[in-house]
Structure 1
């Protein structure tokens, strides 16, 4: 682990010194059912400089679990670190990784055997870091038409079966484009109807549902029991509708989280994809403080 001088340099480079360089580990309330999670893509700039020190800082804020991104299947590395070595670092930090976002979209038009090979690599990496979920996070713009959504559902089912047979779980993460109207059809309806609920779970991005769906998060969960096992929780700027730090935006999370059905929920992750008030590390600091004070009691 880093010495104090190196740590101070890292914190200064990532803008954390202005917050605090010596925050104590936060303790979750005794009645919390879930670990407070962080989608590490939020701090991707800091992760690029030093992933372990970045996670260490997030852990000091009270985040106990995370969702990763950027797996290199050919080299079996997360952030340039071999998966088994990465797991050792996670153990040292008392931090878990419950899900990962993997680059399936770039292989959308490749032969199915290429995609299956990549899935096998993702399975290996996930097993090595004790991560439960492999998640499809994105569909490139050129594939966002009705016919490709139908092709997508077939791919999701096949990947779900492959992942399930390996003892793991598979999920699909939404953005806004799934809710775009295509002459009376929506991609998300096709995904919901065309995928096997036992093979393909769903990760709800609450921001994007509030931003673009005619249905509320509560309605989607009620209409699809057993499927929404993970949530992304992020706020919406009151003016621009862009991302915002928790508590600064327009989404009434106190009402939403206090009333929404949580029976199927397994993990949640606080996230902010950009539009930071100051910088990404200050963002996860402010969001953690607000979340622990005002929202964590509901989870």
Structure 2
């Protein structure tokens, strides 16, 4: 059996039980999303109260983090229990940040086992995407980027075979120049677009890349299925609330259709003006007043 036949057959077997992956999501179906890492302290203390607070602000969809693969738990719930929480609140999770980077130097069997665990969690929670979010500082080298695509392709093939999508999320270190090429150049060039989609962090592109978000998407249309949206402090260039920083998203936002956009998440990893929940509320209010129409 060749690779294409294997992927087709295994995907069909699981299709009835899993959420479909579309090439794009119509604008009227895109929900206001939030990356829950932004409110990580609140989620650690009281996840249910935190979700309810975010829902009151207008958020309807969430990207999760912190899945414990060996236990199949997240935020103190089993993955099945957490899905029930979301269903009871009438909201969704469409992506999760899963900690792949410790597996970079593990065996192929260990990596495959971890990916299987992530698939179990994602499928149970009802999320269509599994996302690689991070690399440790000591891993951010040209040598890592040279061997990373093979692993990303292998992970993507395994996840796609289960009926889910796989994406890579950028920070700033992907845009470090190595004699005329960046780590992001290598990822784009050497990963299979059918297996490895991209989650574009617009803040980090504006912070670190020589290309604009629009230029990146024009070079690989249809591949950027998710966006992270956060603002940049005018002085420190740290994170800040939407509308409080230097990024004019009315000018820099790419065309969602050209991007292949399916889901987007507001995010603020730190540098809160008051506290994480107030920042989430302020960003939601700005987004609804100034940017909602773009989506």
Same fold, judged at TM 0.5 (above): yes
From 160, 164, 168, the counterpart of 1:172: 168
1:143-170 residue CA offsets vs partner (Å, 9 max, x unmatched): 1111211211111000000000000000
Q: Which has the higher helix share?
A: 2
Partner of 1:39: 35
Pair 1:190-2:186 in alignment: yes
CA distance in structure 2 between the partners assigned to 1:211 and 1:69 by the alignment: 23
Aligned pair partner of 2:156 in 127, 152, 160? 160
Structure 1: gaps spanning 5 or more residues: 1-30
Q: Following TM superposition, where does structure 1 have runs of at least 4 consecutive aligned residues deviating by more than 6 angstroms?
A: none
What is the aligned partner in structure 2 of residue 100 from structure 1? 96
CA offset at residue 33 of structure 1? 4.4
The match for 1:262 among 257, 261, 266 is 257
- Separation in 2 of the partners of 1:252 and 1:91? 35
Q: Tell me by how many angstroms 1:141 deviates.
A: 1.4
Matches within 5 A, 1:240-255: 240-255=236-251
Residue equivalent to 1:146: 142
**How many positions carry a matched residue from both structures?**
268
Question: Which among 108, 112, 117 is matched to residue 113 of structure 2?
Answer: 117
Q: Could you say what secondary structure the match of 2:200 adopts? A: strand
Q: Is the 8 A contact 1:37 1:267 kept in 2?
A: yes
Correspondent of 2:269 among 270, 273, 288:
273
How far is 1:186 from its partner? 0.7
Partner Cα distance (1:33, 1:222) in 2: 24
2:272 is the alignment partner of 1:294: no
Deviations 1:159-210 (A, max 9, x none): 0000000000000000000000122221000000010000000000000000
How does the TM-score come out when normalised to structure 1?
Answer: 0.88
Alignment correspondent of 1:228: 224
Counterpart secondary structure, 2:210: coil
How far does residue 269 in structure 1 lie from its aligned partner after superposition? Answer: 0.2
C-alpha RMSD over aligned residues? 1.1
Deviation (angstroms), 1:297? 1.1
Instruction: State the 1:107 CA deviation.
Output: 1.6
Equivalent position to 1:205, from 195, 201, 206 = 201
The aligned residue for residue 8 of structure 2 is none
Q: How many angstroms apart in 1 are the aligned matches of 2:229 and 2:175?
A: 18
C-alpha displacement of 1:256: 2.3
Deviation at 1:260, TM superposition (A): 2.9
Native 8 Å contact 1:236 1:242 kept in 2 = yes
Q: Secondary structure at the match of 2:251?
A: helix
The worse-fitting range, judged by mean Cα deviation, of 52-61 and 128-137 is: 52-61
